[in-house]
Structure 1
């Protein structure tokens, strides 16, 4: 009877270890979404394949979002010439006038869209907490998810590594 328990315990441990290893090595494909920028132009996330992409969910009412925004701008400017793109997604509950005013007054240099129906947030795993940021590699796979403001030094190290990889 004890031998059966040992065998079952070893089998269970092996299954958990295998699942954990797969979870650490598998990358989820980023969802394919369509979105409209503040200028009215229509885009698809698939058009960003071949670039390293940062997708940032935020709101004008989120103090952490407002605090991190200058760092996001600096990050975008630092890496955009190297094949990096930023997609800033304003949450559905954010008043459109506030988003437009913020983006224009701060002259945000990256793509800004309003997720008016919450479809983009749902497609990224039902994002509800802001800020939430995803980093995608050139193949369109999610390689990192940050809930709250990222450590920008670590983020920059990750971006440099991803930008150096071939598509």
Structure 2
């Protein structure tokens, strides 16, 4: 069997190009895009501008993402620890998630923090989300303090939140 080196080289080039575009650095989103709203599973329209004054975590996730599902207990524990500080966790399910499955997972996993569904994908587009989980720690000033692609380590996340709460 003869190796087709030209074909392998073309395939490697295409894979490399796709990898670059999927994981290339963002344009440097620093602040929350203005006038953005997300609809919670309860039907509340939550304006991200209304959250100014207190830090919060905005995390994009999916019911089909193993890392996202594994991260739920960590986010739940953080939500419990920070409940009297004004800090808030908002989990935004991706547009390709089925709403009933998002609701079922929230119930099954006991998610007491705010859960929303980005039904049309506009919020993920505004935040340049390419993979899940992708999280944004937002300071009280409304600026993004940390953008993280992938799962959080519990100690790292709690430390960052406490730093934001100090101001």
TM superposition score category, shorter chain reference = 0.7 to 0.9
- Of Structure 1 and Structure 2, the greater helix share is in 1
Check whether the contact 2:29–2:127 (CA below 8 A) recurs between aligned residues.
no
1:91 to 88, 94, 117: 94
What are structure 2's unaligned runs of at least 5 residues?
1-27
* Structure 1 residue aligned with 2:125: 122
> In the comparison of the two structures, how many residue pairs are matched?
139
Q: State the TM-score, normalized to the length of structure 1.
A: 0.79
CA distance in 2, matches of 1:155, 1:35: 23
* Structure 2 residue aligned with 1:9: none
CA distance in 2, matches of 1:88, 1:135: 12
- Mapped pair 1:58 → 2:45: no
Check whether the contact 1:58–1:130 (CA below 8 A) recurs between aligned residues.
yes
CA distance in 2, matches of 1:93, 1:27: 23
Q: Deviations over 1:77-121 (max 9, x none)?
A: 111211200110000111111101111222311111100110110
What are structure 1's unaligned runs of at least 5 residues?
1-25
Q: Greater CA radius of gyration, 1 or 2?
A: 1
* Structure 1 residue aligned with 2:5: none
1:162 to 144, 154, 164: 164
The Cα RMSD (Å) is 1.4
CA distance in 1, matches of 2:80, 2:40: 19
Q: State the TM-score, normalized to the length of structure 2.
A: 0.79
